[in-house]
Structure formats: structure tokens, C-alpha cells
Amino acid sequence: MNRRDRAWLVALWGATFLLAALFAWRTPAWQAPDEPAHYAYVATVAEQGHAPRLVAACYNEGYKNALVSGNFQAEIDFDRFCYEGHQPPLFYALAAPLFAATKGSLLALRLFSALIGALVPVVAWLIVRALGGDRPLATATAVWVALVPQHLAMIGALNNDGLTFLLVALAVWRMLRYLAAPSRRNLLLMALLVALCLITKTLAWVALPLALLTALLAERGRAMSESLASATRAATVIVAVAALFVLPWMARNSMTYGGFDVMGLEQHDRIAVGQPRTADELAQRGLIGTVTNGTETIFNSFWGQFGWMKAPLQPREYAVLALFSTVAWLGLFRWFWQRGWRREGMAGRGLLLCGLWIALNAGLVFYYNLEFVQYQGRYLFPALTPIMLFMAIGLGAWLPRRWRPVPWAALALLLLALDLLAIWQRLPGMSGF
């Protein structure tokens, strides 16, 4: 990178942090998904020096619904609102010293999350450049990542999402570096980032299969026996480094919850009595109704449905975003049909990796919804960079190169307008719902 690129990335980080900080400031206390439960986790680590134990008292559907419907006007009993205790510990360990230093300031913890999450657009730019994309394409992708309203709402709230989005993006960037130049250093850095993903959030586990695929793609063009041996060695390093980080956490969960509940997910499912279940949704709406409702809710909440899913955008705003999305994905299909599938070398392998990145993340969202109703677009945000990249390619595919910045800028301005509306009016208004 030259000096101009570095200055641009610093400015991008600063601007994204400013917007996320405004979201953090204007969002009423606790009016972000599961925020009190994340706060309880940080408090436990700060005050007791260890991760919390997930017990039946941590989840009470009636108590939670009463607080949400009352806009958290009543005082919160965090001993009854601690159901995020199954989450891996990295973010909470990092946030605990700030909790202690600020005496549990929610705004300070939100700003800490925003500071981390604001780096995601920076890494998005680096990813597109590593793929061989030009500066306008990288800029469009990064700016859209920075401006998606729901993304700003999530990185401006207290949760482990911002760190998840950042670590997954960094891991994929390192995968692309390894594809371009397989070396021991790049392999170890990639393995370390994958390991950090595994102790941050289960959504971040998409990094592990992507890294293993990278180990195989990096050997393309060599003799089969030689490439398989080299890929196996690289995969062994990735798994070994990941195991060093994640096995202690899994052992703790196994001893705490018993048996093979190494992620604490079985314990979470046992205590989450009353949480809406997909089977009930299917019985009520039928298959088509459930799929339609789920798809629409995921789309809407991907762009912006703030708070505890109570503050959506306006229908006309969703309609414009749907138009942009439809044109972009049709354009992407056209682009791939004409030349994308025949791309070779680094660009072809990188685009394949990005496509699988989206597919794995979408697969996790589908899996989560098999048991519980969790129609939330934010679960796609670990793959926000390739989603925005493919949208930028698709929108640009309809126009000559010199005109492509026009629709890119139009979508950026729309997203910025929605951000400012949220900051000025919609986020503070949630306390009156």
C-alpha cells in the first residue's frame, strides 16, 4: 500500500467508528438484541475472574418479554438475564478490564465494541484488493460494509459480534495472502486467526472449513501426490493451532455441563424454555408461510430492524433496497455467466472462497432456524464483505467501467441517509414503542 491508501483506510476506520459511536450513543440502554445478557457475561468475568455457568435461572421467557415490552424501564436482575453464558470467552475477557475501569459503563463497553467493529470495512477493502479488484471496486465494497445500518447498530452495541466480524474477515484476508504466497509465516498467521475465531463465537467457525479449503486450493497446479501431502501438512498445522486455543474451552464446558456438551449449546437449549420454536411456526403458518416470513424478516433485518426487532425501516425503504439487491444479484449472475466461471489463477480461487464463505454462513443461519425461530439478518454479517463485493460486481456488470461508480455511489448515499435517519430519529424513538 502507498501512503494514500493508508490515509484512506485510517479515514475509513475513523468515519465508521464515528457512525457506530453515534449509534451507540443514541440507542436507548439495553435496546439491542441480548445486550443485558452480554453485559452479565462481562460483569461475571470482571468481578469473578471466570466465565459464567449457564443455569436454568439464566433464561426466563416471560421475564425477558416483560422487560422488552416495557422498554427496559424496570430494573434488570442480571442473575435472571444471563443466557449468553454459552458463548466462547475471548470478547468478554477483552472487555472485562474496561468494565472494571469504568465501573460497568454500558456506553464505554458499546464504544469498545464499535472501535473493534469499525475495522471491518478496512479489512473488506484489503480483501477486495487481495482478490485483484481495482480501487473503485474495493472502495464501493468497503463503504457499503461501513454504511449498512443494521451492521452499525450491531457493532455499536455491547456484544461479541463486532469482534466476530473482524476476526473472520482478517482470517479470510490471510487465506488470500496464503493463496498468493504459500509460506510458513502466512500459514501460521492464518491458523492463529482461525483459532481466535473459534473462541469468539460459533458463527465464526465458518473460518475453519474455509482455511482447510485454502490449504487445498494453494496446491493447485502441482502433482496430485505432492499437492495432497503439502495440503495435509498445512491442514494439520491449522487444526493443531486451533485445538491449542479451543480445547481448553471445550474441556471446561464438558466438565461444567457433562458429557459431550463441549460448546454449552445443549445446556442452552435445555434452559431456553419458551423460546419460539420452528416446529410451532410450521404448525401455525405451514411450510410456505414459514419460509416467506423467514426470508422477508431476514432481508429486512439485514438492512435495518433495530432494537429487539421492534424498529424496522419504512416499507418504501425496503422496496428500494430490494430493487438494488435484485438488480445486483441478476447482474452478478450475468457477469458469472459471461466470464466469471472461467476466471483462473488467484482471482478464480479467491472468488470461489468468497462464494463458499457466503454459502457456509447462510448454511449456519439455516441450521440455527431448524429448531428455534431466529430470523435475524445480522447472522449473515460474518460474510458481509463477500455479500457486498458480489453486489458491487453485479451492479457494475450492467454498465461500462466508467459509469459503474454511479450506482455504487447511489446505494452508498441511500445507506448514509438511512443511517442519519436512524441516529436522529429512529433509535431514540425505540424507547416509546
pLDDT in tens, 243-284: 999 999 999 999 999 888 999 988 988 888 878 888 889 999
Q: Are residues 150 and 285 both part of a single domain?
A: yes
Q: Phi/psi at 306 (nearest 5 deg)?
A: -80, 170
Residue 43 and residue 25 share a domain: no
Give the pLDDT confidence score for residue 94 in this predicted structure. Answer: 98
Q: Which of 68, 102, 136 is the last residue of a domain?
A: 102
8 Å CB contact between 37 and 82: yes
Given its phi and psi angles, is residue 311 left (phi above 0), alpha (psi -120 to 50 degrees) or beta? beta
Instruction: Check whether residue 72 and residue 21 sit in a common domain.
Output: no
Give me the pLDDT at residue 224, please: 57
User: 28-42, 184-198, 330-344: which range is least confident on average?
Assistant: 330-344
Question: Based on C-alpha coordinates, what's the Rg of the chain?
Answer: 22
- Total domains in the chain come to 2
Same domain, 97 and 175: no
Residues 32 and 70 in one domain: no
If asked whether residues 246 and 281 sit together in one domain, one would say yes
Check residue 221 and give its pLDDT.
Answer: 56
Same domain? 228 vs 214: yes
Among the listed ranges 107-111, 284-288, 323-327, 412-416, which one has the minimum average pLDDT value?
Answer: 284-288
* Residues present in the chain in total: 433
Hey, is 220 helix, strand or coil?
coil
Q: Mean per-residue pLDDT for 225-240?
A: 86
Amino acid 337: pLDDT:
83
**pLDDT tens-digit map of 330-355:** 999 988 887 755 555 557 888 999 99
**Which of the four pLDDT bands, split at 50, 70 and 90, describes residue 376?**
very high
User: Measured between alpha carbons, how far is residue 326 from residues 59, 114, 304, 320, 321 in Å?
Assistant: 39, 30, 17, 10, 9
Q: Please, are residues 20 and 117 in contact by the beta-carbon 8 Å criterion?
A: yes
Domain boundary pick from 61, 86, 102: 102
Domain span holding position 58: 37-102
Rounded distance, CA 83 to CA 93, Å? Answer: 17
